[in-house]
Amino acid sequence: MKKLIKQFLKLLTRLVPLPLYRVLVKRNPIGFFYHAVSDVPMPHVEHLYRPLPTARFESALLYLNARYNFVSYPELHAHIYEGAPLPPKAVHLSFDDGFVECYRVVRPLLKKYAIPCTFFVATDWIDNQQLFYRNKVSLCIEAAARLEPAAAMAALTRLNAELELALEDRAAFERWILALVQADEPQIDQVCEVLGVDTAAFLANHQPFLTQEHIREMAAEGFTIGSHTRSHPKLVQVSPEEMEAEIVESSRIIQTITGQEIVPFSFPNSATGLDRDLLAEMRARHDFLGLFFDTKDLRQDADFMLNRIWGERRGFVGKGAQTNIPALLRLAYQEEAYECLMSLLR
C-alpha cells in the first residue's frame, strides 16, 4: 500500500504545471550553480560530467534574465541578515571549483548581460598548485580511451598485477576508477604512471584553474568570490576539526586575495549528514564567514544556508528548446513537492 501511495504522489507531482508550482512551492530566491562552460574539450572534466557548451549556457542566462531577477551575493546577504527585500522571482547564479573557464568563458558572458555571480574556489588549486584527484581520474579514462587495443590490454594487465585487481576490460576499469575516493589517491597516481598521465605537465601546460590574478580581477569587477574548502573533501567524512580548518582557512585565503570583508562558502558534494548546530557554532566563532550554499535544489535548510539547482544536471530539452532550465526547475519543484507530501504522511 505504501508503495502505491508513493507512486501516486510521484505521478501527481508530474501533472502540476511549472507556473502553478511557483505558487504552491514558494521559493525566493532560487539558486543555480555550474562548474564548467566550454566549447573546447576539457579532458580533466569530460568523464565526470559534461561541461556546458557556451551557446547552451548563454541560452540559460537569457531564459532566466527574461523571466527572473538576478541578484548578487551582497543582496542575498543583506536579505538574510538585515531583512532587505529581494525582487520577486529572484535568482542567484554561482560556480563551484574554480576552473579557469570561469574567467575566460563565463565572465565575458556575465559582463555582456550585467549578471552578478559568485565563484566558489577550492584554494589548494589556485595558481594550479595541485590537481584534484577526480580530475586525475578523468585524465586517466581519457588516456585509456586513446590507447590501441594491444596497448590497452598491456596497461590493464599491468594494473591488475600492480594493484591486485581483476579488471577484464576498459568498461570495468572505468567503473573501478570512478568509484575511487580521495583516500585512494596513491592508487590513482599509480594509474597515472601506468597510462603516462603527467599531472605536473598538465597543470603547467593547460593551467586548468584560476590564478590569484584572475580572482583579484573578477572581485574588482564586482563578482563575489567564495571558498569551496582547501582540497574539496567530503566534509561528512572528516573530523569536526578538519572540517572547520577546511572551511575557515580557505575562506581566509579568499579574504586575503580579494579584500572582501565577508566570504561565502559552498559545500563540496553536499552538506548531507553534517550537524547544523556544529556549523552554526563554527560560524559564530568566525564572523567573516558569509552564507553557506548547498546542492539540494529547492530544499529549505538552516537560516544561514541556501540550496541550489545543479545547472549541468541532465534535464529533458524538448524539440527546438535552447535550454534545459525549465526542465531543471520543474524537476526541482517536483522533488520538493514530493518530499513535502511524504512528510505529511509520516
Cell numbers 574539496 correspond to 232
Closest CA to 54 of 75, 35, 39: 39
Question: Residues 31, 118: contact at Cβ < 8 Å?
Answer: no
Mean local confidence (pLDDT), 273-299: 96
The whole-number pLDDT of residue 25 equals 78
Angstrom distance (rounded) from CA 56 to CA 203: 28
pLDDT grade for 20, boundaries at 50, 70 and 90: confident
Cell of 20: 502553478
Exposure string of 302-334, with b = 16+ CB inside 10 Å and e = fewer, is eebbbbbbbbbeebeeeeeeebbbbbbbbbbbb
Mean local confidence (pLDDT), 245-252: 98
pLDDT grade for 273, boundaries at 50, 70 and 90: very high
Calculate ∠ Cα 175-49-328, nearest 5°.
125
pLDDT digits (tens, 9 = 90+) for 193-238: 999 999 999 999 999 999 999 999 999 999 999 999 999 999 999 9
pLDDT digits (tens, 9 = 90+) for 125-170: 999 999 999 999 999 999 999 999 999 999 999 999 999 999 999 9
The whole-number pLDDT of residue 322 equals 79
pLDDT digits (tens, 9 = 90+) for 54-75: 999 999 999 999 999 999 999 9
pLDDT digits (tens, 9 = 90+) for 176-189: 999 999 999 999 99
Cell of 239: 573530523
| DSSP-based helix, strand, coil % in the chain, nearest 5 | 55, 10, 35
- Report the topology of domain 2-128+210-345: TIM Barrel (3.20.20)
CATH 3.20.20.370 boundaries in the chain: 2-128+210-345
The whole-number pLDDT of residue 225 equals 98
